[in-house]
Amino acid sequence: MSVEALLQKLADGEFHSGRALGEALAISRTAVWKQLQKLEQMGLPLESVKGRGYRLAGGLDLLSRGDVEAALSARARERLHTLDIRGVVDSTNAVVADADAGYVCAAEQQTAGRGRRGRQWVSPYGQNLYCSLLWEFEGGAAALEGLSLAVGVAVARVIRQAGAAGVQVKWPNDVLCDGRKMAGILLEMQGDAAGRCQVVVGIGLNVAMRSAGGIDQPWVDLTSVVDEIPSRSRLLAYLLNELVVVLEDFTVGGFAGFRREWQQLDAFRGREVAVRLGDDVVLGTSAGVDAGGGLIVETVEGRRVFNGGEVSLRAV
Ligand code: BTN
């Protein structure tokens, strides 16, 4: 029996006795106890009260395929042929990389969630959204200029739609709320760099983070800034609905159609910044993005434009 069957039972936030859990899952009480130990290792707040049993205080809002499908737009249903909802995966980006265009994977937990620049994306069970989809483009890498920024716009729209104010983007594709990171985007390209290529669009959105160990930058989740948030299933549907709109618009018109909106959301515009490129640090004033999504920085030596890759940006 996997720990997930137990989590399905405890997701209601009510007390369950060891015996009732054992009976429901057709396992011994010792086996129940062993599985319960795992929940603690997963960072879930398991309570144990003598005479009443065990509960996950506050319950868990688990993903439900039916609820996601019910909130999908007609356009998303048409363009996304598979909604693969998993429990625990290494990385949803890795799952989708072997699939075909229009395939979506969302998971409750990632054991090897990938972040930008080789970092790990902390992905505890049932608390946030981890989702990837595969999209196909003609025209090779050149046609993808600014794509990650456009995806950032899609995510920012969804966070606003969920009720959050103070949503901003940080070049190239972090989405911030009140200055702290709420979502990250990782695009991975495969196929023909000069022709038809597939892009894995991976998004991690902090929804209700209970166990945040290992995050090395200021972060925030949706529950901390919005009183009543939509269920994670609804949020996932809103995200997919918006992504389909943005990816289709991008396919037709590239980044140009998103530039204005991106710049309105830009957290760093007009601020003094340090851009790190390997061992080099360039200081200057952040001045928005060019038509291809490159970051414009006014330095004492003149204007410089930075494009993706291993560049990192911070305010000084
Ligand atoms: C970043 O470093 O800001 C990018 C984080 C991207 C995380 C998401 S979670 C879903 C998808 N699967 C992964 O392994 N990474 C992306």
The pLDDT tens digits along the chain (316 residues) read 578 889 999 999 999 999 999 999 999 989 999 999 988 888 788 999 999 999 998 899 999 999 999 999 999 999 999 999 999 999 999 999 999 999 999 999 999 999 998 899 999 999 999 999 999 999 888 889 999 999 999 999 999 999 999 999 999 989 999 999 999 999 999 988 889 999 999 999 999 988 777 888 899 999 999 999 999 999 999 999 999 999 999 999 999 999 999 999 999 999 999 998 888 899 999 999 999 999 999 999 999 999 876 667 888 8
Q: Which two tokens stand for residue 88?
A: 């625990």
Compute the distance between CA of residue 258 and CA of residue 252 in angstroms, rounded to an integer. Answer: 12
Q: Which helix (H) or strand (E) holds 176?
A: strand 174-177
Contact 152 CB / ligand 1 (< 6 Å): no
Determine the distance separating the centroid of ligand 1 and the alpha carbon of 267, expressed in angstroms: 21
Active site residues: 116, 181, 314
Of 104, 130, 200, 206, the one to substitute when testing ligand 1's pocket (max ligand atoms within 8 A of C-beta) is 130
Ligand 1 centroid – CA 174 distance (Å): 11
Could you give phi then psi for residue 304, rounded to 5 degrees?
A: -125, 150
Taking every pair of C-alpha atoms in the chain, what is the biggest distance, in angstroms?
72
pTM recorded for the entire structure: 0.94
CA–centroid distance, 109 to ligand 1, in Å, is 12
55 touches 47 (CB < 8 A): yes
